[in-house]
Structures are given as C-alpha cells and as structure tokens.
A and B are shown apart, each in its own frame.
Chain A
Amino acid sequence: MSLFAAPSKEKVVRVTKFAVKDHEMVPEHVLLTPEEGDEVLKGFGIEAPKLPKIHVSDPAAREIGAKVGDIIKVLRRSTTAKQSIFYRLVID
C-alpha cells in the first residue's frame, strides 16, 4: 500500500466535488461530543428523541462525519437575531 496514494486521491475528489458547507445557503454544522450533547439535553430538560432530526445521509451531516445518535449544533444566520443556534439529532 502506498502512503501517498490515499491522500492524493482524496484531493482529486475534493477538487471536482465541492464542499457542501461552502454553499451560501448551508449554515455551519458542528458535531457535538457526547458530553456536550448531554449538556444541551440537560439545558432543555428533554430526551434526545425530542430534538429535531437530521438524516445520517444528509450531505451536510455526512461532511462532518456524523453518526446515528450524535447531536449536531447548527449555527444559523438569522435575519432577526443575526445568529441563532439550533440542534438536530442524527437519525437513520
């Protein structure tokens, strides 16, 4: 196995396929650690399934490597509040 083959291939893929997160309509998605996720749930006083959902297959979720059960923090650009924070639970 060549050490150089894998990264160079990755680079080629990235050049032809643009990153979803760069699109002006896609807000920033941040993957939370389980601890941060628990903190969020405790803050709202709810269980994880009560959060809004996002599919694992969602292009933006896939790009940050989210797995089922993770919580994603979305930093939305809002016309009223400038920035608003939204959480989504990754589902199948």
Chain B
Amino acid sequence: MRLSDKEVLERLDGLDLPQSIKEALQAGLQGAGVSEKQLEEIIAQVAADYEHSRVEPCEAVGVVAAQSIGEPGTQMTMRTFHYAGVAEINVTLGLPRLIEIVDARKIPSTPTMTIRLNQDYAHDRDLAREVAWAIESSSILHLGSIATDLAEMNVIIELNPGAMEQRKITSTEVAERLKEETGLSVDQKENVLVMAPEESSYRELLQLVEKIKRISLKGVEGIKRVVIRKEGDEYVLYTEGSSLKKVMQFDGVDPTRIKTNNINEIGEVLGIEAARNAIINEATDTLREQGLSVDVRHIMLVADIMTVDGEVKQIGRHGVSGEKASVLARAAFEVTVNHILDAAIRGDVDDLKGVTENVIVGQPIRLGTGDVTLVASKR
C-alpha cells in the first residue's frame, strides 16, 4: 500500500533529525508514492548517514575551528584602510577586522550602520534623502562659515540659507543650540550670528571657535556622514559612525532591519542572541569579501563561546583564554610568569584535564581514544 503525502509528513515530523533534513526528505518524497516499508528504509538510511556525518564524541572541535579560521586568515590582506567598501565610506576589512571581531572591541575602528527604510520611504529618493539629512549630524561648517574678528574680539558666523533649508533648520534654532551648548549669549541678525567669549583673550576666542565647530546642531551625534545607495529597487542609507538606539526611532527607518558593525552595541540594544548572530554575520562577510570560504559551523562555535556567559567576551587574555580553569593552560597562552606566580601564591591545583596542560607535562591528551577508559558494565 502506498502512503499519501500527508501520512509521510506525519511520519517525518516525529523524527529526531534537523529541520533542514526533514524538509529535504519531504521535498524528495513529494508524490513519490512510497510504501510503508520503503519509507522505513529511506528514513533508516538517512538517519544512519546523518549520524555518520556528525562530529564524534571527544573530537577536538575547538582546535579544528581554530585551524579552519586561522589558515585562511594567513591569506588575508594586512592592509587596514583604503578600501572604499560601500559608496565612499571607509570600512576596516580583512585581517584587522577579523581580529577586531574576535577581540570584541568596545568600539570598532570604523563604526558604520546600514539603514533600511520603511516601505513608503524605501522607493522614493527624495524621502530617503530627507531621512539621511535628519540623521546626519550637522555642524556649523555644514551650514555656513565661521570667522573671528580680532578687533572686536568676537566670533562671526555667517549662515547659508540654502544649506539651512536643505537640512531643515532655521538660524534661530542654530542660535538656540549654540546658546545651550556654550552657555554664552548669541547676537542674532538675520543669518549672521555673533558670539563673544567670556574673557576677551586670543586664546579664549580661538578655543570658542573650536568648540563651536564641534557642536552637533542637528541630527544624531556621532553620525558623521550618511550616504544613499540604491540596492535592487530600494534606497539604503550607509553611515559613518554608529548609534543604533537613536537612529531606530527616526521616522522612515525600518527598525527591524537596521544593522551596525558594532557588535557590542547590538548586544546592548538587541540582546546576546542578536550579538551572536552579528558575530557570525560579520566574520563570514569579512572572510567572504576576501574570497575565502570557511564553514559556518566553525564561526558558530567561536560566536557561541564568545556569548555563552550572556555578554560578548573576547577570545583572549581578558576573555575565553583567561578564564580557563587550568593554570598551565593559561600560562601557556600569555603573561606566563604572572599566572604561575599568582597560582603559587593561592596554592592552585591543576587537574590536568585539558589538552595544553597534558602536552606540557608530557602525557597523552584526553581526547579521542585518549579519553576512553574501561568501564565495567553493571549487572
């Protein structure tokens, strides 16, 4: 008797196999009209193959992952900058970026965001540009010119009406912001603002100019530049600088698809699981961009170990390697003397369970066949 597709589906659903294999099986069996016995045989064969493809117990997956990421790493460029990756925005790529990811740096050397827009905004260039201007941090230099009058000992700011209109800010608002930030009075005549330092000295005057230049008048602080690019049929914004939490709240921005290359920021705003995904995506993209392909399982292992404690932890002295239980394993990694000295003072004991410490003392490591001891079966 042949089984219907529905019966096959029911049978597959209860199996202890990954979803992807179940779906592949289902697609293959669609309309094939197999009998109960044939299905049984197919499932048994697939299950056996799946079992065979799995990692053996006691396999040193960490070492395999390290080798698999490390070897392509040797072929990556050492060059940090220069690559105008996405539309004139500089992003760190290659080996320096990979190191940055596994070191879990608080702020990457070139933070950047990819902002996707809502349906209504994504296909309209003008609306996309409006969002870009609202997000981009505007300083006084974007809106006009700044000069010092040494005779009068004051700073003269001439605002450009065209630039102000483009960025949707008025001269009164500019004056207001300057007052707020400097705490000094601003003399406003149309589009000309005049400010004087508290003490009239050259030094104070020049310092005031520098201070005014740094003030963010509009937009999100830290977003130095926004570039619009058309991808497929939608407009996407790329930024220099990153501020996920603030940018998410802008009108027109699709908060569910916004991305940043700052993994720690993702961890704070979206949680540890999102940070894990970010590590996987960033590492895979960095390797792929260099034309290298590393199996995602190795990268997943790295991402898992970095996020296992609920926060993003670096692979290194202050993270994963520094938290190893074994004194000898830690001493073999970095700052040897400190670890041995501290262990001696505390009277630490090394159980010699790991690989490194057993290599150091010269006995078989407890991996693979080395991990098996005889166990008597209970009657």
Contact = CB atoms under 8 A, between A and B. Distances in A.
Contacts of B300: 78
Given A26-B270, A29-B273, A80 B256 contact: no
Interface stretch (A5-13, A33-41, A57-65): A57-65
Interface in A8-44: 16-18, 20, 22-27, 29
B336 interface: no
B363 interface: no
Interface size class, chain B: 20 to 34
B271 interface: yes
A53 B308 contact: yes
Contact of B271 (A18, A26, A80): A26
A24 B281 CA distance: 12
A13 B113 CA distance: 25
A52 B274 contact: no
A25 B270 contact: yes
B18 A80 contact: yes
A20 B281 CA distance: 19
Given A18-B255, A24-B257, A53-B309, A82 B271 contact: no
Nearest to A53: B310
B64 interface: no
Contact of B311 (A55, A83, A84): A55
A54 interface: yes
B23 interface: yes
B134 interface: no
A58 B271 contact: yes
A45 to B, nearest CB: 14
Interface size class, chain A: 20 to 34
A18 B273 contact: no
Interface in B214-270: 248-249, 255-259, 266, 268-270
B277 A27 contact: yes
Contact of B19 (A16, A83, A88): A83
Nearest to A84: B18
A3 interface: no
A76 interface: yes
Contact of B269 (A16, A24, A59): A59
Nearest to B248: A18
A48 interface: no
Nearest to A72: B273
B166 to A, nearest CB: 27
B297 A18 contact: no
B270 A60 contact: yes
Contact of A88 (B249, B258, B310): B310
Given A24-B256, A58-B310, A88-B310, A81 B20 contact: yes
A81 B23 CA distance: 10
Contacts of A61: 271
Nearest to A54: B310
Contacts of A29: 273
A16 B245 CA distance: 12
Contacts of B249: 16-17
Given A74-B273, A81-B18, A88-B272, 11 more contacts: A22-B255, A26-B270, A52-B304, A54-B272, A54-B310, A59-B270, A60-B270, A60-B271, A78-B20, A82-B19, A83-B19
Would you list the 7 A-B pairs with minimal beta carbon distance, nearest first? Answer: A60-B271, A81-B18, A82-B19, A53-B310, A82-B20, A18-B255, A25-B274
Interface of A: 16-18, 20, 22-27, 29, 52-55, 58-61, 74, 76, 78-84, 88, 91
Interface of B: 18-21, 23, 248-249, 255-259, 266, 268-274, 277-278, 281, 296-297, 300, 304, 307-311
